Amino acid sequence: MRYFKRPSVVLATLLIVLTALVVFLSNSALAQGREFTQRHFQKLMKVIQLTQLYYVEDVDWDTVVEGAISGMLADLDPHSVYIPPKKAEENKESFQGKYEGIGIEFDIIDGYLTVVAPIPGSPSYELGLQSGDRIIKIDGESAVGITHDEVRRRLKGPKGTQVTVTILREGMDEPFDVTITRAEIPIYTITTSFMVDDSTGYVAINRFAATTSRELEKALSNLEKQNMRRLVLDLRGNPGGYLDQAVRVASKFIPGHQLIVYTQGRSGQMDEQYFSDQFNRAKVRNYPLIVLINRGSASASEIVAGAIQDYDRGLILGTNSFGKGLVQKEFSLGDGSAVRITTAKYYTPSGRCIQRDYKGKKLEEYYAELQDTSWVDEKNLENLPTYQTRGGRTVHGGGGIRPDVIVRYTSYSKVPKVTNKIRQKRLFFEFAGHHEEALKGKYRDFHQFEQAFQVSDQLLKEFQRYCAEKDVPLDDAVLQKDRAYLARHIKAEIARKLFGNQGYYFVLIMGDNQFQEALRHFPEARKMAALSLDSFRH
């Protein structure tokens, strides 16, 4: 017979935890369900005891308990989850908007730790690390074959500490060392912002973290100095984040004391109202606004889009959003892990809860619905609750934010099996690096480059040969079928090499059919903004 490791300690700990929970529940607002709760705790305790006494092998109780917690939360709703210690720390870092390290965007390409871009203002940026640099040693130890987790462990560290990296740079005969003093590195939630033309600004937000409102204020102020008179706010693929940041973002475009979102929980303890003037905003913008959303726009993104739509303040364009109207609160479990539990539902100003139905559905089924396009059919709206915007337009609840203008995304690769391999191996990035030196200094600025540089058939053929050398066959049929996609990404990566990330994103967005359609709808957005702002004054 095999014996368990520290059985008495494990069992005693579980007993203490369960007893504490029972005592807590018996003295809480849940007292009315106490007998039911105690009965189930007793059942769980019985299973633990039986496992402890009779199970055939040693039990990894950490894994068992984590599995039990995850299983229980999964039965509640799709968004209540258990977060292991390592993931909890990463989440904390991400949503705080900063970490301590050297400041690079990186990837592992052919086994080499490769700098995609130094983060502006970071120690790596100040010391001249360049896109395409390969870090082959860290503090004298080889970094060839390193994993993503190892990169983070070896390059991150307390600010003020130092790390020496050995750089292999194309065009230089020998590797060289750079000693970098770690610092606090911002994690930006604004992916990019720039002027598209002499009056149109573009801002993309990738999530809502603690710094989002401040980042957006800075981006808008900078664009306004460049004479921005209309804005495309891109929330596509934004999974959400902090609710208060969503309120702050929406409030930059909605004047006065207006309700932005409200939450309702089971007991009333989580009921809250959030207003547009609640967080000491710096300025309210009145220019025409178009918000881009898609199936990846969730939670806080939907709060922003919902408020803008309910007040007729801007035009929502794209495809249906995710449909997540649940509010989660994160609770620490004391060992670095945490649980994120749904505490309330949120509602847009018109009263819409945009949460998709999840009752009785498996998690796979719930997420598979994102591929469903039946929401486009007007007949399917008949079963959804209807609400009125401030201007009297009809909007629907119960299934995400439905755009005012539906535009499907068509700028994707036509041969994704091939292009996914190209992207996974970062061949666009590497190929652009081979042309960087020849193109440096050829264009006086990005505008000239964007207008003059074209990806020729000759350059595409060269890229085809390069892909073949990297074991990614790209035959003539694929080359022609996906020419626009391939050319756009080659040009974007060359733009990144020459002009930084703004150049990269500019090239990509100019080939984006949803963005191009948004530009055509600004007359409608201008009229909507004028009517909406006039209604706030009455």
**Ordered DSSP codes for 302-323:** HHHHHHHHHTT-SEEEES----
Residue 324 is a catalytic residue: yes
Q: How confident is the model at residue 268, as a pLDDT?
A: 72
Q: How confident is the model at residue 97, as a pLDDT?
A: 61
Of 80, 297, 299, 301, catalytic: 299
Of 122, 276, 321, 324, catalytic: 324
Q: How confident is the model at residue 377, as a pLDDT?
A: 67
Q: Which of 504, 488, 507, 472 is nearest to 116 (CA)?
A: 504
Q: How do 405-406 and 394-396 pair as beta strands?
A: unpaired
Q: How confident is the model at residue 461, as a pLDDT?
A: 96
Residue 225 is a catalytic residue: no
- Contact residues for 306 (Cβ-Cβ < 8 A; gap 6+): 261, 348, 349, 352, 354, 401
Q: How confident is the model at residue 538, as a pLDDT?
A: 62
Residues in the chain predicted with pLDDT less than 50, given as ranges, are 1-13, 15-17, 20, 22-26, 29, 33
Phi, psi of 259 (to 5 degrees): -70, 125
Residue 271 is a catalytic residue: no
Q: How confident is the model at residue 374, as a pLDDT?
A: 65
CA distance 426 to 516: 27
Q: How confident is the model at residue 70, as a pLDDT?
A: 76
Q: What angle do CA 34, 35, 37 make, to 5 degrees?
A: 65
pTM: 0.81
Q: How confident is the model at residue 536, as a pLDDT?
A: 75
- Contact residues for 204 (Cβ-Cβ < 8 A; gap 6+): 190, 191, 192, 193, 234, 236, 505
Of 310, 312, 482, 512, catalytic: 310
